[in-house]
Structure 1
Amino acid sequence: MAGQNPKQPSTQYHHHVAALAFPFGTHAGPLLSLVLRLAAAKPDTIFSFITTSKANSSLFSQTSKASAFLNVKAYDVPDGLPEGFVPSGHPEQLIGFFLKAAPANFRIVMKEAEAGSGLKIGCLVTDAFFWFAGDMAEEMKLPWVPLWTAGSRSLLVHAATDLIRQRVLGTGGNAVKTLEFLPGFSKLEVADLPEGVVLGNLESPISSLLHKMGQELPKATAVAINSFEEAEPDVVNELKSRFKKFLNVGPFNLASASPPLLEDDSGCLEWLDKHKPASVVYISFGSVVSPPPHELAAFAEALAESGFPFIWSFRGNPDEILPNGCDKSSLNGKIVSWAPQVQILEHAAVGVFVTHCGWNSILESIVGGVPMICRPFFGDQNLNMKTVEAVWGIGVGIEGGVLTKQGAVKALELILRGEAGNEMREKIKVLRSLARSAVEDNGSSSKAFNSLVNIVTKHEEV
């Protein structure tokens, strides 16, 4: 993928920024979104976007927005897998190999990018997972700007892991159940924390990575995040006190100059036009994990019994999952293999979003003004759910933590027919308004983004 865009004369550019992307899950997309915004703001700067060929291929397709930017070039970094490697199907194994080889591999590719552009790299913008980039930036005497692609609450948990372990594990394990010693956490409990902080395997590769990241981020020139300050002011203020600079530059789905309108091949938006306001259920569990088949079947039964109209973005073959005797045509909705989520959530007919509680999905739901029913799986998703439910009051967790027919019907009725649903809609309108204000010209996210542009393109030895 290197040299995918035609080489430009080096005189056209005055700065060179290397962006190092984590190629797993949904990490690389948000980093590329940020790079494209920076590239639009600074056309005299060249951005070398470095990740695996697999990730680059999907991000830099011919139809992608990225292909229009002459000052953004994709470079491939090896995936670190040994020759003849046969994957076990466990993603942590692939991540482990990639990370072990990443520092040396990134250094080699950055040299190629410098040779290709004729300009020395002046700044490292990386996924926050790459805690080792701090050492690289120090060696190269460059600013380091990590991007945290999730929410500020989960970031504070990883930045404060040592304190949390001291308070929770240092007192016999069960003595402290709430987290009120952290600003903004009075409504959360130890059980809400991501696995690997105080519960589960504290030495797993991901747990170790996040712990090390939390310890290293304070030396970054600035930490950027896909969020807006007004969403969680207490948490943001605490992070500002821990980092040299903490820049909320989102929500990316609002802040991008012109988010691309995605094709609606299944006619979802036209179908929504025929429905009453706040009456339709939208279901999507993201692109990484799905609930097990018995939960999906239970949810299909809940939809059939309640009769609510729905759009279900379904990965796999629905015929293998739907309960016996449940004919798709008897359901009052659309089951599609892919849906334009942002546009669907902004449609007035959508009344509730059934989600895994990934951070991008939560931001899209806030911007759309749609309350959530949450079925989290791993990582920060449980913490996000408790934020949605207990802190913001804009959604509910599924009863018992797993999808059952009875629990799903209860949650759907609560939000689509109950007064509680109207209250959630009012609360989410306030958050949506704050998000929109943040990205306006004098808004907090716009000011933070201007500060980020200055850091990234003004190279002074650090």
Structure 2
Amino acid sequence: MGIPHFLAIPYPVQGHVNPLMQLCHVLTKYGAKVTFLNTEFNHKRTTATCGGGGGGDNPNINYVTLPDGLEPEDDRSDREKQLLSIKRTMPPLLPKLIEDVNALHDDENKISCIVFTGNMGWALEVGNKFGIKGAFLWTASATSLACCSSIPNLIHHGIIHSSDGKPTKKQEIQISPTMPTINPSDLPWLTIGNTFFPHVIKLIETMKLAEWWLCNTAYDLEPGSFISQKFLPIGPLMEINDKSKSSFWQEDTTCLEWLDQQQPQSVIYVAFGSMAVVEPNQLNELGLALDLINKPFLLVVRPSSKGKNVIPIEFHGLEGKIVSWSPQRKVLNHPSIACFISHCGWNSTMEGLCAGVPFLCWSFFADQFLNKTYICDVWRIGIELEKDHENGLILKEEIKKKVEELLGNEDIRARSMKMKELIMNNIVQGGQSSKNIQKFINWAN
């Protein structure tokens, strides 16, 4: 019997490409082969920033590409346009790609399993025609997966509308008896846009074709959320090395040298992930707050779609450093970091957990509000930043007050370190997530 050969197909956004790349590196440690499919556009980006295929020089990972159907100058931050173009362009081209890859291998080493992320479920329908097994990597929390997979049930019981997924009543929702109750406005599909719900419905349908729903989480983190036998926690996918990352932007590593010069647990780290947009007025409030706090800070302001860093404020203090993109896992694990002002995207949440860093929660959309609930109310390792009711901004006074409150709370820091130990125990040899990955590889073979 040969070794398993995985075809990895991420939805082409940073928050999907990275965890799938990390999973692939883990799979190769167990002897598996991987063919990683990027869009041509993203392959060029990651090759420019990371070299190779964007994931280092792992000899067991081979990179292939397909076009996404968009022109180079098209706006890929228009998710609806990108999604429709991918679904038009890539499915007809995938069968030939599978045949070409298989032609390079003997019968025992042909593609045996497709692993895909959200919105790429069409790949499984193609794979089924070749007799290829399928698994789905959910890149957010198991709680958000439980919410999405429960949509048919929620509709059946009249809890949400079938047309748009909006709640029928203003009351807390209980997905399962052992999960925390959910504010109806925090259902992950409601904060993305009115047109997104049909895509979630389609995703749930294609997910059913997959044998496993892999989650970058650990059972200890969200024990009540594993409501299906298909759920398989395999996290944290958290190697701190340059081989397992795939960055769309050039990382500014000078921030690591700058951090070396700061006192232990003194730096406020501020980063909002790869998709959240901070409006100029809000960025101004944040800058003024960092001046008021008068502590060293590291602020990530992502390049805009036009390639410019627009910071509409003048920082008065000399306390901080601003970069356009950071090596976040290394930053969070640096001893000088005091806290993490975060959008609470799942990848950032896991990275913060694994570093034992307290959070200030600043959620924008999708599952980030659910993650904030876990950080603040369940794990109790962070504090929420609240918007001003009149102008909808998080004001400088609020940021200053909550930073000081967080840094003065030794209980939160102690719980953060305890959570780090708890979660990292899952990926040591004999840990629950390690056992689950071995189980998955045995099945895929």
TM range (shorter): 0.7 to 0.9
Q: Quick one: distance in 2 between partners of 1:62 and 1:354?
A: 30
Aligned pair in 2 of structure 1 residues 112, 183: CA closer, same or farther (>3 Å)?
Answer: farther
In the TM superposition, residue 200 of structure 1 has moved relative to its aligned partner by 5.9
Aligned to 2:282: 295
Aligned partner letter, 1:222: W
Question: Which whole-Å CA distance do the structure 2 matches of 1:374 and 1:382 have between them?
Answer: 9
CA distance in 2, matches of 1:64, 1:297: 37
Say whether residues 1:144 and 2:131 are aligned partners: no
Amino acid at match of 1:144: G
Q: C-alpha distance in 1, partners of 2:72/2:419?
A: 50
Give distance in 2, aligned partners of 1:89 and 1:149.
19
Is 1:191 aligned to residue 185 of structure 2?
yes
The within-5 A match list for 1:272-283 is: 272-283=259-270
**How many Å separate the matches in 2 of 1:127 and 1:76?**
16
Give distance in 2, aligned partners of 1:107 and 1:285: 37
Distance of 1:452 and 1:329 partners within structure 2: 53
Q: Which residue of 2 aligns with 1:73?
A: 62
Q: TM-score, normalised by structure 1?
A: 0.83
Change (3 A) 1:52 1:441: same
The offset of 1:23, in angstroms, is: 1.3
In structure 2, the CA distance between the partners of 1:118 and 1:200, relative to structure 1 (3 Å rule), is: same
Cα 1:94/1:170, change in 2 over 3 Å: closer
Q: Distance in 1 between matches of 2:52 and 2:359?
A: 32
Query: Are 1:435 and 2:423 counterparts?
Result: yes
Maintained 8 Å contact 2:361/2:383: yes
Which structure has more helix as a fraction of its residues?
A: 1
- How far did residue 393 of structure 1 move? 1.4
Query: 1:99 maps to what in 2?
Result: 87
SS at structure 2 position matched to 1:351 = strand
Decide whether aligned partners of structure 1 residues 257 and 25 sit closer, same or farther in structure 2, where only a CA change above 3 A counts: closer
Q: How many residues align?
A: 427
- Residue identity over aligned pairs, in percent, reads 26
Q: Is residue 2:40 matched to residue 1:53? A: yes
TM-score normalized by structure 2?
0.86
Distance apart, 1:72 and its partner CA: 1.8
CA positional deviation for 1:124? 1.4
1:29-49, Cα deviation, whole Å (9 max, x unpaired): 22122122212321xx54221
Give 1:342-357 correspondences, 5 Å limit.
Answer: 342-357=329-344
Name the SS of the counterpart of 1:110 in structure 2. helix
Structure 1 CA distance for aligned equivalents of residues 336 and 112 of structure 2: 48
| Equivalent position of 1:221 in the other structure | 211
How far residue 15 of structure 1 moved from its aligned partner, in angstroms, is 4.8
Preserved contact between residue 136 and residue 212 of structure 2 (Cα < 8 Å): yes
Cα distance, 1:137 vs structure 2? 3.5
How far residue 315 of structure 1 moved from its aligned partner, in angstroms, is 2.5
* Contact 2:360 2:383 (8 Å CA) reproduced: yes
Provide the rounded CA distance (Å) in 2 between the counterparts of 1:378 and 1:341. 21
Distance 1:351 1:209, change over 3 A: same
Q: 1:33 to 1:139 in 2, by over 3 A?
A: same
Q: Give, in whole Å, the separation in 2 of the partners of 1:270 and 1:200.
A: 40
Instruction: Give the counterpart letter for 1:214 in structure 2.
Output: I
Q: Which residue of 2 aligns with 1:455?
A: 443
**RMSD of the alignment, in Å?**
3.1
How many angstroms apart in 1 are the aligned matches of 2:309 and 2:21?
A: 32
Aligned match for 1:398, one of 385, 396, 400: 385
Q: Deviations over 1:47-88 (max 9, x none)?
A: 22122112223445436773422332111112134x899559
SS at match of 2:199: helix
Residue from 397, 410, 417 that aligns with 1:422: 410
Cross-structure match for 1:309: 296
The AA in structure 2 aligned to 1:191 is: S
Contact kept, 8 Å, 1:178 with 1:186, in 2: the verdict is: no
Change (3 A) 1:89 1:145: closer
Asked whether 1:253 is paired with 2:242, we answer no
Pairwise CA distance, 1:142:
2.4
Equivalent residue of 1:295, what SS? helix
Give the distance between the partners of 1:269 and 1:18, measured in 2 at CA.
35
1:360 aligns with 2:347: yes
Q: Which runs of 5 or more residues in structure 2 are unaligned? A: none
Q: 1:337 and 2:331 equivalent?
A: no
8 Å Cα contact 1:194-1:379 kept in structure 2: yes
Amino acid at match of 1:138: N
Which amino acid is the alignment partner of residue 55 of structure 2?
A
Letter aligned with residue 410 of structure 1:
K
Partner in structure 1 of residue 26 of structure 2: 37
Instruction: Write the distance in 2 (CA, Å) between the matches of 1:276 and 1:256.
Output: 24
